[in-house]
Amino acid sequence: MKIKRSFLILVLLFVTFALVNAFIVNKEERISDHALWPAEPEGCTTILVGKDASIDGSVFACQTADCGVCDFTWHLIPAADHAEGATRKIYHINQVKTWSPEVGGKWVKYVEGDTGVEIPQVPHTYAYQHAVFGHMNERQLGIAESTIGCVRKMRNPTPSAIMDITTLTMLAMERCKTAREAIQLMGSMGEKYGYGFHDSGEMLAVADPNEIWLFEIMPVGPLWTPETGKPGAVWCAQRVPDDHVSFCPNQSRIGEIDLDNKDYFLASPNVISYAIEAGLYDPESGKPFSWKRAYSPSRGSAAASQGRRGRLWRLFSLVAPSQNFSPETEGMDLPFSVKPDKKLSVKDIMDITRDKYQGGQFDPTVGLKGGPFGNPNYFRGFTVDKERYNGPRCISVPSVEYTTITQSRSWLPDPIGGINWIAFGAQDTSCFIPLYCGITEMPESFTKGDHYVFDRESARWAFDYVDFHTQVVYSYAIEDVKKVQEKYEGGALKKIPLMDKAAAELYQRDPAEAVEFITDFTLSNAKSAVDGWWKLGDFLLVKYNHFGTYNTESRRPGRVQTPEWWNRAVIEHDNLTPVVPPPPRPKAKPEKKK
């Protein structure tokens, strides 16, 4: 009885805190209603590509995991069989929180978030690869994430919300073969056990070899408990047409919905009723219900925000330039998806993740903003004389933990058909490394590392090492990086078709041997790329040491030259005066002959 009373008091305290917090935030929200750019999530960018929008029929789900402080390690959870009556523990897993490697790191310490809830286990769980989220399993199910936020009153940080987005992705990886199965499972888990705690509104790209869906889920407020008998989450999913591409750059993307068209829409039973109860939608208004406008409205256009709210416009412009999407268009008014001007390859998607508005109106390297060496990472905006000047929020940002591109292919056996392409750290100075979804071992260097401890056994630190040495003289060093990218990333792109063919033929004779074959290739290729990046980092350190250019072949030093426009700008800004040459030496008088 005492335990129950204590638990009740704890829940009441959480609810009180949540309500006070919601009141304060809503008050701040009202005060800032006329502020130009309210705070919104600026994390991950997600790209969704249907099978008929890709060159070879692949389905792609891509995520740039933009965080800056999150865990970046990758792990492989093996398939397992479970006894009848077995249960699975549920933990609250914070996307952002990490622990030192000295105490085991995140994926040892996450168990401290034990919710006390156990759900029935299924007879068999699939093997899958995960980092911050579950990203790809052995059945070619792929997932990519982007935080979208929600109306403040919807948040539920109380213990009644058992499920968070990381846990939902892992459950989907363990238990599902198709995108539809995964959506229904994650949605039903959120409804039954409550969704939120660490998370607010979240979006997932959910892909299989035939379809890709955009799934969004949100909490239903801090007063929800299972005893209400109502769903503990509200969710909706919309399928991307097979010949289309869609995107999510931290903005809710689903608008008007047609629940009768179950081939393209799936949703929780409270998808509209909750909005009415919460005062977020008035059916008497005469306006059709719009998911994003009710639950996660977002303001701003690319032009008006000086590129701060420009990613969605930029993404559409990159894949369908013929449609002339205007940077003046509000993000909420851009379409759900678009047919690309040309079908996309995995290399095209890699290039998109590296975009920093190069050559566009928000290019951060133009003029003084990029410094003398055209560094796109310098200009992030600032305030001067109480006036705000925005730097563009590019698709590629330095704070990215990793980028994942899941590739699902229907014409190959599952272990071979799924590939998870991973790039650690900043995409412009990294390279994408392929992991077949059927591998039985993760590259060891992928499993190690922490932001606060330099580690030469960690793959991520190899790429950070190169990135660090590139920043100093970016326009020079990036050309060196591109050459090595072509060797390792370009080399992998050329090898994969050969590996696919050999592995598929082997799979027909001996599936186990085929799995061993792709595992060996994956491990060997990953080690080669990581070793190559350590060597590249050492090379850049030597070459640009002391702000010079040391040619290791000729053994001659050179000098890093600043461009003339920069020199002239410095002259003007600092009022420099040219050096006055000394007067010429007087000519020596010829000596008289004696």
For residues 478 and 493, membership in a common domain is answered with yes
Per-residue pLDDT reduced to its tens digit, 99-157: 999 999 999 999 999 999 999 999 999 999 999 999 999 999 999 999 999 999 999 99
Residue 172 belongs to some domain of the structure: yes
> What is the CB neighbour count within 10 angstroms for residue 569?
15
Q: Determine which of 27-41, 309-323, 337-351 has the lowest per-residue pLDDT on average.
A: 27-41
For residues 485 and 339, membership in a common domain is answered with no
Q: What type of residue sits at position 429?
A: T
Residue 573 belongs to some domain of the structure: no
For residues 25 and 155, membership in a common domain is answered with no
**34-42: average pLDDT:** 45
Percent of the chain beyond pLDDT 90?
87
Question: Can you give the pLDDT at residue 594?
Answer: 59
Question: Can you give the pLDDT at residue 589?
Answer: 74
Domain extent at residue 525: 428-551
Residue 576 belongs to some domain of the structure: no
Cα 317 to Cα 42, 167, 185, 321, 325, distances in angstroms: 20, 34, 34, 5, 6
Question: Can you give the pLDDT at residue 34?
Answer: 28
Question: Can you give the pLDDT at residue 22?
Answer: 41
Per-residue pLDDT reduced to its tens digit, 393-452: 999 999 999 999 999 999 999 999 999 999 999 999 999 999 999 999 999 999 999 999
For residues 9 and 62, membership in a common domain is answered with no
pLDDT band at 584 (very low <50, low <70, confident <90, very high): confident
**Greater pLDDT, 558 or 195:** 195
CA distance 21 to 152: 9
Q: Which two tokens stand for residue 165?
A: 């987005």
For residues 285 and 308, membership in a common domain is answered with yes
For residues 66 and 30, membership in a common domain is answered with no
Question: Among residues 301, 336, 357, which one ends one of the domains?
Answer: 357
Residue 568 belongs to some domain of the structure: no
**Three-state SS across 408-432?**
ECCCCCHHHHCEEEEEECCHHHCCC
For residues 66 and 144, membership in a common domain is answered with yes
Number of folded domains that form the chain: 3
CA distance 83 to 120: 11
Q: Which residues contact 511 (CB under 8 A, 6 or more apart)?
A: 413, 415
Q: Which residues contact 376 (CB under 8 A, 6 or more apart)?
A: 356, 357, 358, 363, 364, 365, 370, 394, 428, 474
For residues 10 and 96, membership in a common domain is answered with no
Q: Which two tokens stand for residue 208?
A: 């299989």
With contact defined as beta carbons under 8 Å apart, do 350 and 427 qualify? yes
Question: Can you give the pLDDT at residue 18?
Answer: 43
Question: Can you give the pLDDT at residue 552?
Answer: 85
Q: Determine which of 321-325, 358-362, 529-533 has the lowest per-residue pLDDT on average.
A: 358-362
CA distance 251 to 38: 13
Per-residue pLDDT reduced to its tens digit, 347-361: 999 999 999 999 989
Q: Which residues contact 456 (CB under 8 A, 6 or more apart)?
A: 462, 534
Residue 390 belongs to some domain of the structure: no
For residues 23 and 120, membership in a common domain is answered with no
Q: Which of 139, 126, 206, 134 is nearest to 164 (CA)?
A: 134
Q: Which of 359, 347, 348 is nearest to 489 (CA)?
A: 347
Q: What is the mean pLDDT of the chain?
A: 92
Q: Which of 453, 493, 442 is nearest to 131 (CA)?
A: 442
Residue 350 belongs to some domain of the structure: yes
Task: Give Rg (Cα) of the chain.
Answer: 27
Question: Can you give the pLDDT at residue 40?
Answer: 52
Per-residue pLDDT reduced to its tens digit, 168-192: 999 999 999 999 999 999 999 999 9
With contact defined as beta carbons under 8 Å apart, do 424 and 72 qualify? yes
Written as one string, the DSSP assignment of 341-372 is SSPBPHHHHHHHHT-S-TTSTT-TTSGGGGTT
For residues 9 and 83, membership in a common domain is answered with no
Per-residue pLDDT reduced to its tens digit, 67-84: 999 999 999 999 999 999
CA distance 493 to 337: 27
pLDDT band at 41 (very low <50, low <70, confident <90, very high): low
Q: Which of 138, 178, 210 is nearest to 511 (CA)?
A: 138
For residues 458 and 516, membership in a common domain is answered with yes
For residues 467 and 344, membership in a common domain is answered with no
Residue 397 belongs to some domain of the structure: no
Per-residue pLDDT reduced to its tens digit, 371-399: 999 999 999 888 999 999 999 999 999 99
Q: What type of residue sits at position 538?
A: D
Residue 250 belongs to some domain of the structure: yes
Question: Can you give the pLDDT at residue 590?
Answer: 73
pLDDT band at 588 (very low <50, low <70, confident <90, very high): confident
Question: Can you give the pLDDT at residue 480?
Answer: 98
> Is it the case that residue 240 has pLDDT exceeding 80?
yes
Tell me the three state secondary structure of residue 569. helix
